Amino acid sequence: MAEAHEQTEHAEHVEHIAHSNKNVALLIAVIALFLAFSETLGKSAQTNAIGHNVESSDLWAFFQAKTIRMTVLRTAADAVSLAASVADPAAKAAIEKQVDNWKKTAARYDDEPETGEGRKQLSERAKDAEHRRETSLARYHQFEVASAAFQIGIVLASASVITGMVLLAWIAGGLGVAGIVLMGVGIFAPHAVHLF
């Protein structure tokens, strides 16, 4: 009789472990699903950051080219203006006209709101691209830390199956929740938490 009772208890214990392992397997699957989301969002944020960095760099290079052109034109206008003081009246009028054209072109290089390609507009666009780059990088960092939490959670959940330690499964679940929170921060408020 005692042997039958012991076998019944053993069967119940095995059934409890199997049920517990199914729950842990489900936990691992859910954490892995969120890991996939986090990795995808992280890669997208990283790609966006690279694109915004290239855009910012291009705009600053264009800004610098406009600055060089503007400086050359202003220098030429000043040099020719000095030479115009000794020229004959007909040549002086032609020189003054050319100097005026150069000064207008230099002013256009500095501020050209119609095309958005003046130095002032290029500077604003470059700063905007830099801001978008920083936001994308902040998102990327949040998603990377979330991915780490999910990966550690999966490892701990797997270890709980092997060791039978329920505490590891609970910690894994907690890391999964932390990863979800970090993903939310990355999506909605990437600058709210500074981890790096």
Q: How far is CA 52 from CA 80, 122, 143, in A?
A: 42, 14, 18
Q: State the total domains in the chain.
A: 1
Q: How far is CA 20 from CA 15, 39, 177, in A?
A: 9, 28, 20
**Secondary structure class of 164 (helix, strand, coil):** coil
**Secondary structure class of 194 (helix, strand, coil):** coil
> How does pLDDT run across 146-190, given as a tens digit for each residue?
999 999 999 999 999 999 899 999 999 999 999 999 999 999 999
- 2 part of a folded domain: no
> How does pLDDT run across 117-139, given as a tens digit for each residue?
999 999 999 999 999 999 999 99
User: Binning pLDDT at 50, 70 and 90, where does residue 82 land?
Assistant: confident
User: Binning pLDDT at 50, 70 and 90, where does residue 18 land?
Assistant: low
d(CA 24, CA 115) in angstroms, rounded, equals: 60
- 161 part of a folded domain: yes
Token pair, residue 182, equals 């970090």
- 52 part of a folded domain: yes
Model confidence pTM above 0.75: yes
What is the extent of the structural domain holding 46?
Answer: 23-188
- 181 part of a folded domain: yes
